[in-house]
Amino acid sequence: MVSTLKRLLIGRPLKSTELGEQKLNKRKALAILSSDALSSVAYGPEQILIALLAIGSAAFWYSIPIGIGVLILLTALILSYRQIIFAYPYGGGAYIVSKGNLGVKPGLVAGASLLVDYILTVAVSVSAGTDALTSAFPSLHGHTVIIAVFFVIILTILNLRGVRESATILAYPVYLFVAALVMLIVAGLFNILTGHAVPVTHSAIGTPIAGISLFLLLKAFASGCSALTGVEAISNAIPNFKDPAPSNAAKTLIAMGVILGILFSGIVFLAYYYGITPSTEVTVVSQLGETLFGRNVIYYFIQGTTALILILAANTGYSAFPLLAVNLAKDKFIPRMFTIRGDRLGYSNGILFLGFFSILLIVAFSGQTSRLIPLYAIGVFIPFTLSQTGMIVKWMRERPKGWISKLIINSIGALISFIVVVMFLLTKFSQIWPILIFLPLIIWFFYKIYMHYMAVADQLRVSLAEPTFPIKGNIIIIPVSGVTRVVENALNYARSLSPNQIIAVTIAFDKEEEKRFEEKWEKWHTGIRLVTLFSLHRSIVQPLSKFIDVIEHKALDNKYQVTVLIPEFIPRKGWQHILHNQSSLLIRSFLLNRKNVVVATIPYHLQK
């Protein structure tokens, strides 16, 4: 039944040969790989306003200079990643770039941050997508967590079925979203330029605000940087591009940067000009849409495409996490099971792991996007910093043609990313401290796992010099509880193996029982020696275990192997098991962990 359900949800198993990849052209690549980055504009500008709201809405004019700061950072990052694309044409994830240039430890820091971060990608994007929905349909507002969890489950199932990254259908929502936001921005600007709109800003740019501090501005800037999450996606996926892959990828990256910059600036500016105040119930984009169009079909189109692209952005977590997990598992830092392809050729364990932990996060944070974003953003900027630093080291070591200008670009990228990390630590410590506990913990796990795999490989290596324990003979022990067909079957089997010795063992609870059974055994004429153990505490396992200890000890001296054969009768129907004392199961589970004893069940199947 479980298997039927599985087939229904994820479909028939696929053959390994059905694994095929289609190369992406620039237009499709832009759509598919930038959903994470572009969708960030749905929450990034809002985060700036939320940070400024601590002083009051009069401080909102600062969103303009802060937005310009974010644009500068965006430019630096795009240029830096463009260089990574050319330097790592086979995909330069932060884990690979950091490990390759800075060493294993920084690589693991990047890897651990990214693992956590992809989980947060899913949690944040799905929560933000749910916000877009509940802004449009306020009656859903009380059910945020359930809706978000439902989306994660759907995404997990779809990914277990296997979503082709190249599926054309995934491209539409991204272009629709860009179209919707461009429409919003154009309409907003048009109104302003034609004088239809009167500015309702809370204060003019440059108004001095009481109580504003550098700390608060840095905090608002750090918040705004959450709009930049996802810009690294293209540089990780170069092998998916059509040839010449690096140059196509670089062009796509630039295009994405330009679109991201336009959408971000437009929303920041309009939110300021139309005097939008962030609220927990309705998103900034939703408020803008409502102000410009009213709650008509265009408004719902904007909200719908926003929700859709955010959920698609979550899907990039599902593409990236399992691949990173495979890399880490191949390097033996996480369990081997992450390298196994499931029935539908996806790395199912990674997908399930990601789904489970995203749901955990959504539930733990009650689906509140703004509480998740700081953790998400710092998790992004740590690997940003590490991979840019890795590039600096690479240029200094390799010194290719024009390396100085490349070095400068990556140095600026590294520096700004590092400053953002520090700003986060300084201004949002109360929200991001968990990462300072989890990152070291995860890295410690990485090392523990690595050490274990190394120790195992060492112990399993076959060496002709030291062969394993040579077996000179066999002793078979058969626990018996009656003169039955089941026991007869086990005795026959034991005899067929022609061991050096067969011992039948029975456990008696009282003297009378002992005598009766011994007489019965005598009459049976099996030719096999019966040993009766006496159990005052009515335990079967303990006396048997002690007896095996004794035999095992003697056997080891002679390099004999001890085997316990457990006769077991198997009823025809499952429910009938509860009608029988599960002694054989009990004995088996008790003996399975013994060091030098082989345990086998000799089944006797009932016909009726």
Give the one residue of 437, 459, 512, 550 binding a copy of itself; rule: CB under 8 A: 459
Q: Are strands 560-570 and 529-534 parallel, antiparallel or unpaired?
A: unpaired
Smaller CB separation from a copy of itself, 331 or 343 = 343
Residues between 544 and 583 with contacts to a copy of itself, criterion CB under 8 A: 561, 563, 569-571, 576, 578-581
Amino acid found at 603: P
> Smaller CB distance to a copy of itself: residue 196 or 573?
573
Does residue 562 sit in helix, strand or coil? Answer: strand
Contact flag: residue 497 with a copy of itself (CB under 8 A): yes
Q: Enumerate residues 6+ apart whose C-beta is below 8 A from 525.
A: none
Please check whether residue 128 is in contact with residue 373, taking contact to mean a CB–CB distance below 8 angstroms.
no
Look-up: residue for tokens 């009282």?
510
Site for a copy of itself in 355-394 (CB under 8 A): none
To a copy of itself, the closest distance from the beta carbon of 328 in angstroms equals: 13
Q: Least Å distance between CB 475 and a copy of itself?
A: 11
Residue 470 interacts with a copy of itself (CB under 8 A): yes or no: yes
* Cα distances (Å, whole numbers) of residue 5 to 155, 158, 341, 592: 17, 14, 19, 33
Interface with a copy of itself in residues 438-457 (CB under 8 A): 449, 452-453, 455-456
CB of 307 closer than 8 Å to CB of 129: yes
Is the CB of 366 or the CB of 581 nearer to a copy of itself?
A: 581
CB of 439 to a copy of itself, least distance (A): 21
Closest CA relative to residue 73, chosen from 181, 185, 226, 272: 226
Of 460, 465, 512, 550, which one interacts with a copy of itself (CB under 8 A)?
460
Q: For 6-9, which contacts have Cβ atoms below 8 Å and span 24 or more sequence positions?
A: 6/343, 9/157, 9/160, 9/161
Q: How far apart are CA 453 and CA 216, in angstroms?
A: 48
> In the chain, what is the greatest distance between 2 CA atoms, to the nearest angstrom?
112
Find the binding residues for a copy of itself in span 175-214 (CB under 8 A): none
Dist CA 507 CA 517 (whole Å)? 10
Q: For a copy of itself, which residue of 125, 316, 388, 474 counts as binding (CB under 8 A)?
A: 474
Three-state SS at 15: coil
Binding flag, residue 2, a copy of itself (CB under 8 A): no
The residue from 164, 485, 516, 554 that contacts a copy of itself (CB under 8 A) is: 485
Q: Which of residues 9-28 bind a copy of itself (CB under 8 A)?
A: 13-17
Which amino acid would we find at residue 333?
F
Among 255, 533, 586, 600, indicate the residue that binds a copy of itself (CB under 8 A): 600
Q: Which stretch binds a copy of itself (CB under 8 A): 150-158, 177-185, 393-401, 531-539?
A: 531-539
Q: How many positions of this chain bind a copy of itself (CB under 8 A)? A: 75
Q: Does 343 bind a copy of itself (CB under 8 A)?
A: yes
- In angstroms, give the least distance from the CB of 260 to a copy of itself: 40
Taking CB under 8 A as the rule, does residue 150 contact a copy of itself?
no
Q: Which of residues 580-599 bind a copy of itself (CB under 8 A)?
A: 580-581, 592-595, 597-599
* Contact assessment for residue 326 and residue 339, using Cβ atoms and an 8 Å cutoff: yes
Distances (CA, A) of 216 to 73, 88, 172, 224, 441: 19, 38, 39, 12, 31
